[in-house]
Amino acid sequence: MFDTAQTLYIAGMVGVGVFAVSGALAAAEKNLDILGFILFATVTGVGGGTLRDLILDVDVFWVAHPLDLQICVAAGVLTYFVASQFLERQRLKRALLWADAMGLALFCVLGTAKAHALGVDPLVACAMGLITTTFGSVTRDILSGREPVLLGQEIYVTAALSGALSYLVLIHWLESEAVTLILPMLIAFLVRAAAMVFDLRLPKYSRR
């Protein structure tokens, strides 16, 4: 139905969109004005991919294609009006975490795939997947003065890592490129969703 380039393109847009919504929801938690919503949506939506592209020394993806920025602006504006109508205070944080989980699933695979296509070492591709996934949300959380979500109790980086690693394995096994992209996204999302629903954690460092 879709070829790989289209799948990548659409998945990237969706990823930017859901991360942008998670950023706008963080702005709602801070009671910012509408420009604050747009700002948080944009930083969260394109932050990770921007750092990835800078490090890989390729054109930053949204400079030549303003559609990504338009999505972020739209996500900020829509969230501003919708969130104040339909979301109660205590549901904001939950909605933010689910939007963040969807963005995580998309970006950990897309970031890894973009780096892998440039021929870098798998470890570097993996790092790029994690950077794409985490940098936007880390910036969102630091800007709003919150503990970065990836340092939280529940499994977060592990979920992104499961997506990146399964992509790097599957690309040698599967013929369908679309499935090679979508299956690791599902894996990452399920790991993160399970962590959120069942409150899963890795063992912590035990101090004496």
Tell me how far, at minimum, the Cβ of 134 lies from a copy of itself, in Å. 8
C-alpha neighbours within 13 Å on the C-beta side of residue 84? 13
Q: How many residues are present in the chain? A: 208
CB of 178 to a copy of itself, least distance (A): 27
Minimum CB distance to a copy of itself, residue 15 (Å): 19
The residue (of 172 and 207) whose beta carbon lies closer to a copy of itself is 207
Minimum gap (Å) between residue 182 Cβ and a copy of itself: 24
Q: For residues 33 and 36, give the distance between their C-alpha atoms in angstroms, rounded to a whole number.
A: 5
Nearer to a copy of itself, 133 or 180 (CB): 133
Cα-based angle 133, 135, 137 (whole degrees, multiple of 5): 80
Dihedral sign of CA atoms 9, 116, 182, 74 in order: negative
DSSP 151: G
Name which of 26 and 185 has its Cβ closer to a copy of itself. 26
Please, which residue, 7 or 110, has the CB nearer to a copy of itself? 110
Six token digits for residue 117: 């296509």
Q: Count CA within 13 A, CB hemisphere, residue 142.
A: 11
Is residue 109 within 8 Å of residue 184, measured between CB atoms?
A: yes
The binding site for a copy of itself (CB under 8 A) comprises 27-28, 30-37, 39, 42, 50, 54-57, 59-60, 62-64, 66, 69-70, 73, 80, 83-84, 87-89, 92, 120-121, 123-124, 127, 130, 138, 142-145, 147-148, 150-151, 157-158, 161, 201-208
Q: How far is the CB of 114 from a copy of itself (least distance, A)?
A: 13
Alpha-carbon gap, residue 12 to 3, rounded angstroms: 14
Residue 3 or 199: which CB sits closer to a copy of itself? 199
Nearest Cα residue to 185 out of 89, 73, 108: 108
Nearer to a copy of itself, 7 or 62 (CB): 62
Q: Minimum CB separation from a copy of itself for residue 175, in Å?
A: 28
Query: Three-state SS for 1?
Result: coil
